[in-house]
Amino acid sequence: MIIITQRTATEEQIEEIVAQLEDLGLAAQVSRGESRVIVGVIGPEELLREKPLASLPGVEAVVPLAKPYKLASADARGHASTVDICGVRIGGDAAVALISGPCSVEGREQMLSIARLVKDSGARILRGGAFKPRTSPYSFQGLREEGLRFLAEARNETGLPILTEIMDARDLPMIERYADCLQIGARNMQNFSLLKEVGRSHLPVLLKRGFSATHNELIMSAEYILNEGNENVLLCERGIRTFETGTRYTLDLSAVPILKSRTHLPVVVDPTHAVGLRAFIPQMSVAAVAAGADAIMLEVHESPETAKSDGQQALFPETLSKLLPRLRAVANAVGRDL
């Protein structure tokens, strides 16, 4: 961290800045330029958490140099971490995993049928929303615990671990009774109370990037979960909001190598929500594998025209079956299995 002083800062003010740092047990290195003085802070920055240095007289800016995230940093482990979801390994040198299922759990037979189809197509984890965050309060909101029971039944029949979204910390004990992995949706990426709660859960957490969030903001949200003791966190790129209106969001594939260079956490890509248009999702899925994604998450529905949510972006089962060989070929080309 460095402290940049104002042009008008006096010697007394600079000495006071140095004195404040030394009182905290930190060392200060003063560099004098033609118009400004820069004070380098040497020592653990954790000691500065309760000290508002930016408010000291003569200070123009406080610039952190070290990464603000500690536990998620690639340096924290020195190697890529792997998250195990009931025997399905994601990250590190593990095979690229396919996570698939409907947007919403709509009924028992629907859930069982789609679970069988995605397993036959090569999916290794089953997704489905029992709680649905919707833009309109009048839209389908999910079947809640009944939906969780249908997911659990589908897991019992197919053997696929289940991933489902949590929206409210009060629902965590109930969801933990059924789910194998928790999803934090884009709208809740910076719901810090919820992040802390799932950080105390024994279940792995898939954290989706908010549609207006930077790479660093996503990592800092993961830091909240890690800081509570839950080390099993997956980062998910699901598209961001830009000026472009040709797709639902803009899929930021550059996030994959950037996140993997900055953190040790596995990176999942969700082309479904990013593109929002069925016709273009296969191409972006292939591109995501080429970019280095550790897992791909795709929505599938037998009758998208009757789906209770996001039917326009759900793949037909036969499309998923035809897509898998292409994904496998690309994975092999970049030195991965699928």
Mean pLDDT to the nearest integer, 268-276: 96
Q: Is the pLDDT of residue 305 over 90?
A: no
- Please give the single-letter amino acid code of residue 4: I
Q: Is residue 225 part of a domain?
A: yes
Last residue of a domain, one of 41, 63, 85: 63
- 43 and 51 Cβ atoms separated by less than 8 Å: no
pLDDT score at 139? 63
- 144 and 202 both lie in a single domain: yes
pLDDT score at 140? 60
Mean pLDDT to the nearest integer, 218-239: 95
- 49 and 184 both lie in a single domain: no
- 237 and 255 Cβ atoms separated by less than 8 Å: yes
Mean pLDDT to the nearest integer, 37-59: 79
Look at the chain and report how many structural domains it folds into: 2
Residue 49, domain CATH: 3.30.70.1140
The residue among 106 and 161 whose pLDDT is bigger is 161
- 281 and 256 Cβ atoms separated by less than 8 Å: no
Domain that holds residue 59: 2-63
Query: What average pLDDT is seen over the chain?
Result: 91
C-alpha 53/C-alpha 46 separation (Å) is 13
187-197: per-residue pLDDT in tens?
999 999 999 99
Q: Is residue 165 part of a domain?
A: yes
Mean pLDDT to the nearest integer, 317-332: 96
Counting other chains too, the contacts that 327-335 makes at CB distance below 8 Å and 24 or more residues apart are: 327/96, 327/98, 327/285, 327/286, 327/289, 327/296, 330/286, 330/289, 330/290, 331/95, 331/96, 331/289, 333/290, 334/289, 334/290, 334/292
Under the banding of pLDDT at 50, 70 and 90, the label for residue 247 is very high
Mean pLDDT to the nearest integer, 72-98: 92
The residue among 208 and 53 whose pLDDT is bigger is 208
- 17 and 106 both lie in a single domain: no
Lowest-pLDDT choice from 142-146, 216-220, 273-277: 142-146
- 54 and 96 both lie in a single domain: no
- 143 and 35 both lie in a single domain: no
Is the entire prediction scored with pTM above 0.85? no
Q: Is residue 199 part of a domain?
A: yes
**Percent of the chain with pLDDT strictly greater than 70:** 96
Residue 171, domain CATH: 3.20.20.70
CA 209 to chain CA centroid, Å, is 5
Q: Is residue 28 part of a domain?
A: yes
Q: Is residue 253 part of a domain?
A: yes
